[in-house]
Structure 1
Amino acid sequence: MICEFASSHHPLVHTLAIGSLSYLALIVLLRLSGKRTLSKWNAFDFVVTVALGSILATVLLSTDVPLAQGVVGLGLLIGWQFVLTWLSVRSRPFQQWIKGHPTLLLWQGELRKDALRRERITEGEVRAAVRSKGGADLEQVAAIVLETDGTFSVIMQTSSGRSASALADVQGL
């Protein structure tokens, strides 16, 4: 009823009505799918998020796409995101295929130049990561890891001599 009213009137009315309803549908779908749907981004999550935005924009601005079709499209993407993340939690090979793995860029103050080249990271970016964590000297750093979401984890040297168990899944260690 609202969709028919919106479609038969001015495009601004269509955008207001359909946009509001599709936005509410997206919020409901995201709440039903859980926190993981829009968690910290890796390439996989980024693609899903951009696709959700594209569907929402299409439904919002196009009078040719019915609201129900847009909601089904949003639900389909969120459903696949849920299934794939569910599988990745239960299967390590599947998780690595979908998300990749973190990469060691620096170990015990020494840059891993092969890893920097492979990941297309400059030494300047690594130094900036150290500075952002309050470090002044690469030799003070135990490890720098490029995480699967593109962020740098900087682990400073400690005097405790504890193991580096947090680095167990890092490529290059």
Structure 2
Amino acid sequence: MQFGSIFIETLFGFVTLFILAKLLGKTQIKQLTAFDFISALILGELVGNALYDKEVGIPEIGFAVALWGVLLFITEITTQKIKKSRSLLEGSPSIVIHKGKLQRDIMRKGKLDMNQLLHLLRAKDVFSVQEVDYAILETDGTLSVVKKTNYQPLSRQDLDLPLQEILLPAMIINDGEIIKDNLEEIGKDNDWLVEELRKQDVNSIKDVFYAEYDKKNGLYIQQQNK
């Protein structure tokens, strides 16, 4: 009976948290602000503690999650309607490098030391502070970087070259199954796909682990176990 109760309450907690996350439109983990992170922890605690409390059942779990969801929803509406509340509840970006100069006061305020800053810069393919003109510490802990002009890569515009169309590859086969929507998107059908597979000595779609198509390179295929 106890295991059955835990199973039902766990399932109920999972479903309610999933619905709540969908309704609130939560971002990915790496994009969470400090407030979102704390909210996720508290939601987990509300459900987790309730599961092993014999005096707490589904109605209590549902009420706790619903109440916390309402509070989060009110917070979201508040930050959208009242601009001054955004910096308090969501935080605000901080310029940690300004015109090539480290802003020690801003770094100290954001609890950011040089080792952490260099780590964030390396994640942006920047291996020296001397390459940076501006660096902004975002509210989710990521770093946005603008390199100095002489460290920025050349663009087609810089070289006065004509613009080219961006070709986005489309996944056509995934683990032996055709992605029909993508096949229709590129204006092809099953007969075309079978013919292209034969050209590459593939006799069955089931033999294909992954296949993608783009206009420039055509159909790329990787077979199963190869």
Q: Do both share a fold (TM > 0.5)?
A: yes
1:65 partner SS:
coil
| Structure 2 residue aligned with 1:129 | 120
TM-score when normalising by structure 2: 0.60
Q: 1:158 and 1:101 mapped to 2: Cα distance? A: 26
1:100 partner SS:
coil
CA shift at 1:51, angstroms?
0.8
Of 33-42 and 135-144, the range deviating more from structure 2: 33-42
Matches within 5 A, 1:1-173: 9=1, 11-31=2-22, 33-36=23-26, 40-158=31-149
For each residue in 1:74-127, what CA deviation from the matched residue of structure 2 results, as whole angstroms up to 9, or x when unmatched? 111111111111110121101122122111111222111111222221112212
2:50 partner SS:
helix
TM-score when normalising by structure 1: 0.77
Q: Which has the higher strand share?
A: 2
Structure 1's unaligned 5+ residue stretches are 1-8, 161-173
- Partner amino acid, structure 1, of 2:60: Q
Q: 1:148 and 1:158 mapped to 2: Cα distance? A: 26
Cα gap change, 1:52 to 1:38, in 2 (>3 Å): farther
8 Å Cα contact 2:120/2:142 also seen in 1:
no
Identity %: 21
Larger relative contact order, structure 1 or 2 (CA cutoff 8 Å, min sep 6): 1
CA-based RMSD? 2.1
8 Å Cα contact 1:26/1:71 also seen in 2:
no
Q: 1:41 and 1:67 mapped to 2: Cα distance? A: 28
For each residue in 1:43-81, what CA deviation from the matched residue of structure 2 results, as whole angstroms up to 9, or x when unmatched? 211121111001110222222112111111111111111
8 Å Cα contact 1:19/1:59 also seen in 2:
no
Q: Which has the higher helix share?
A: 1
Q: Highest CA radius of gyration, 1 or 2?
A: 2
Of 14-23 and 71-80, the range deviating more from structure 2: 14-23
Q: 2:96 and 2:27 mapped to 1: Cα distance? A: 29
Structure 2's unaligned 5+ residue stretches are 153-226
Q: 1:150 and 1:61 mapped to 2: Cα distance? A: 34
